């Protein structure tokens, strides 16, 4: 008969009342032993065994004891049951939610980076702030060497997670709590700063601190702590994780800056190769034939703890999977942050060259197109996809075409005069 492969199905129970009450329950069965119809309309209620039949086939399925007790309590003792196993839908509305979250985060992060750039440009007119701004920019700017080092660290970290997951997962959770709390604070503090009221201050350590920012810090820390304590409560903890994750991505995109398009190409190109290698190539290397990227994302060796580095949205279409468990549609932070850094560079370049947001809008639209392409391929191939495989070409090609069409490719590739001015170099002729 072959090895047992548990699959999920639905037990549709109906009482004998008027009108009859119905309720669905999760069952586990083996398709090698039991064949179930794919819809309720094609299913027939189970009946008593008939001795006149020469060959009797009994479907075998497992159901939770708590569900049996609930069935008796809800529907009574006389119950008709029907078993069926609907297929997973090829498209789920959760993908739309993921799409909106991703595009919103990339667009807002890029716009926020442009606002910060405009403040830098204004500060350059003040000689007293010029040196401070220059040093601050150097601390948060990716150079080509920094990009290569960053990708190497990503590779090493992923391999370490694969082999030492059950220990390192708690390190990642701790880092996420700290980083997301700080990011949420930075995002909300920027909003609160635009509110003119409630600006009372107290003196602490020779500094005047706004009281509302103290309360804000407490709120952000509390949000991260609540998520850490209840992170495995799938019914609602995903909402808090997504809020913290969006804040983390926004702060990352706004803070870390690519100095020129050349650095963007190096970063996105290397991370594209990283994504493809660990998704498609590593199954030929690992003993169990599994992708290292997929194994780490799912929690290798059946580990119940999951890495909090993804946007999670529960599947919204009704199926056996949604009844038995709460499956999620996932999008990694890297699929938002990495293209987001290019979108942010495009927005800053628009600000520096006064080009009316053409680079920013074009790159954001290209990111949205890349996301749609990712979901289409995901639905057709019915397997996890490295999103950067589609996002990187869409965004890089679009940005290059805009720069070529505007005859600004050299300036776009090397960075604007503002970036060279920060470094104390002469701007190359464009």
Active site residues: 275, 335
How far is residue 159 CA from its own chain's centroid? 20
Residue whose token pair is 């990187």: 392
Tell me how far CA of residue 147 lies from CA of 120, 267, 334, 348, 405, in angstroms.
Answer: 23, 6, 14, 19, 28
Per the omega criterion (within 30 degrees of 0), is the bond before 19 cis?
Answer: yes
Instruction: Find out whether 131 and 400 touch, Cβ atoms under 8 Å.
Output: no
Q: Which long-range contacts does 16-21 make (Cβ < 8 Å, 24+ apart)?
A: 16/76, 16/78, 16/79, 16/80, 17/75, 17/76, 21/74, 21/75
CA dihedral 8, 14, 20, 22 (to 10 degrees): -20
H or E stretch covering 289: none
Euclidean distance between CA atoms 399 and 75, whole angstroms: 61
Instruction: Find out whether 34 and 60 touch, Cβ atoms under 8 Å.
Output: yes
Exposure string over 165-187, b if 16+ CB within 10 A, otherwise e: beebbeebbeebbebbbbbbbbb
Tell me how far CA of residue 390 lies from CA of 276, 293, 324, 371, in angstroms.
Answer: 11, 17, 33, 7
Euclidean distance between CA atoms 374 and 385, whole angstroms: 7
Q: What phi, psi does 24 have (nearest 5°)?
A: -105, 145
């Amino acid at each position: 008969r072959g090895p047992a492969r548990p699959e999920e199905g639905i037990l549709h129970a109906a009482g004998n009342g008027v009108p009859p009450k119905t309720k669905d329950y999760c069952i586990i069965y083996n398709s090698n032993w039991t064949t179930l119809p794919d819809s309720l309309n094609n299913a027939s209620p189970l009946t008593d065994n008939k001795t006149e039949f020469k060959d009797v086939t009994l479907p075998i399925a497992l159901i939770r004891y708590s569900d049996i007790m609930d069935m008796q309590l809800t529907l009574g003792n006389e119950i008709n049951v029907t078993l069926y196993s609907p297929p997973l839908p090829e498209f789920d509305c959760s993908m739309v939610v993921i799409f909106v979250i991703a595009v919103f985060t990339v667009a807002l992060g890029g716009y926020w980076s442009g606002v910060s750039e405009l403040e830098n440009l204004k500060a350059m007119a003040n000689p007293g702030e010029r040196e401070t701004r220059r040093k601050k920019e150097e601390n948060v700017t990716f150079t080509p060497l920094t990009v290569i080092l960053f990708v190497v660290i990503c590779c090493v970290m992923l391999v370490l997670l694969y082999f030492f997951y059950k220990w390192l997962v708690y390190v990642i959770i701790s880092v996420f709590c700290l980083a997301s709390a700080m990011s949420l604070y930075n995002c909300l503090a920027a909003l609160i700063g635009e509110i003119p009221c409630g600006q009372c201050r107290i003196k602490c350590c020779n500094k005047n601190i706004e009281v509302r920012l103290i309360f804000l810090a407490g709120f952000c820390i509390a949000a991260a702590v609540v998520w850490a304590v209840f992170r495995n409560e799938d019914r609602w903890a995903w909402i808090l994780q997504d809020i913290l994750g969006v804040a983390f991505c926004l702060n990352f995109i706004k803070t870390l800056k690519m100095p020129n398009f050349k650095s963007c190409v190096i970063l996105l190109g290397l991370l594209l190769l990283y994504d493809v290698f660990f998704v498609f190539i590593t199954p030929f290397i690992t003993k169990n034939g599994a992708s290292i990227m997929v194994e780490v994302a799912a929690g290798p060796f059946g580990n119940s703890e999951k890495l909090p580095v993804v946007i999670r949205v529960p599947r919204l279409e009704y199926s056996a999977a949604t009844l038995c468990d709460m499956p999620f549609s996932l999008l990694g932070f890297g699929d938002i942050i990495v293209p987001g850094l290019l979108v942010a560079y495009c927005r800053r370049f628009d600000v520096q060259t006064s080009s009316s947001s053409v680079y920013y809008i074009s790159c954001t639209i290209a990111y949205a197109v890349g996301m749609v392409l990712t979901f289409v391929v995901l639905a057709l191939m019915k397997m996890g996809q490295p999103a950067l495989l589609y996002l990187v070409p869409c965004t890089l090609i679009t940005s290059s075409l805009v720069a070529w069409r505007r005859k600004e490719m050299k300036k776009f590739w090397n960075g604007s005069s503002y970036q060279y001015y920060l470094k104390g170099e002469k701007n190359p002729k464009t």
